[in-house]
Amino acid sequence: MAQTSPTFRRRRLARRLRQMREQAKMTLEDAAPRLDKTRSSLGRIETGISRADVHLIRSMMDLYDHYDPDLLDMARAANRPAWWTPFFRRCTENRGYVGLEADAVSVLEFSLAYVPGLLQTERYMRAVLDSELMAPRDAEQLENEVTVRLRRQRRLTDEDDPLELVAIVDESAIRRPIGGPAVMREQLTYLIDRARLPHASLHIIPNEVGMHVRLQGPFAILEYEWPEPMLYIDHVRGALHVDDPAELRRARALFDHLESLALSGDESLRLIEKIADEH
The whole-angstrom separation of Cα 9 and Cα 88 is: 19
Both 60 and 123 in one domain: the answer is no
Provide the whole-model pTM: 0.75
| 156 assigned to some structural domain | yes
Both 42 and 94 in one domain: the answer is no
pLDDT at 1: 39
Determine the average pLDDT of the residues in 35-50: 91
Question: Looking at per-residue confidence, does 48 or 245 come out higher?
Answer: 245
Stretch among 83-97, 102-116, 227-241 having the lowest mean pLDDT: 83-97
Read off the amino acid at residue 81: P
pLDDT at 2: 41
| 1 assigned to some structural domain | no
| 54 assigned to some structural domain | yes
Q: Is the pLDDT of residue 225 over 70?
A: yes
Domain edge (last residue) among 78, 113, 137: 78
Both 210 and 246 in one domain: the answer is yes
Question: Looking at per-residue confidence, does 274 or 87 come out higher?
Answer: 274
| CA distances (Å), origin 43, targets 27, 51, 187, 235 | 10, 11, 41, 21
pLDDT at 114: 93
| pLDDT tens digits, 157-187 | 998 889 999 999 999 999 999 999 999 999 9
Both 133 and 12 in one domain: the answer is no
CA dihedral 235, 1, 69, 245 (to 10 degrees): 40
Both 67 and 97 in one domain: the answer is no
| pLDDT tens digits, 92-116 | 556 778 888 988 999 999 999 999 9
| 162 assigned to some structural domain | yes
Mean pLDDT of the chain: 89
Domain edge (last residue) among 78, 107, 126: 78
Both 149 and 270 in one domain: the answer is yes
Q: Is the pLDDT of residue 133 over 60?
A: no
> Into how many domains does the chain fold?
2
Q: What is the CATH number of the domain that holds 35?
A: 1.10.260.40
| 21 assigned to some structural domain | yes
| 238 assigned to some structural domain | yes
Structural domain that includes position 59 = 6-78
The whole-angstrom separation of Cα 56 and Cα 52 is: 6
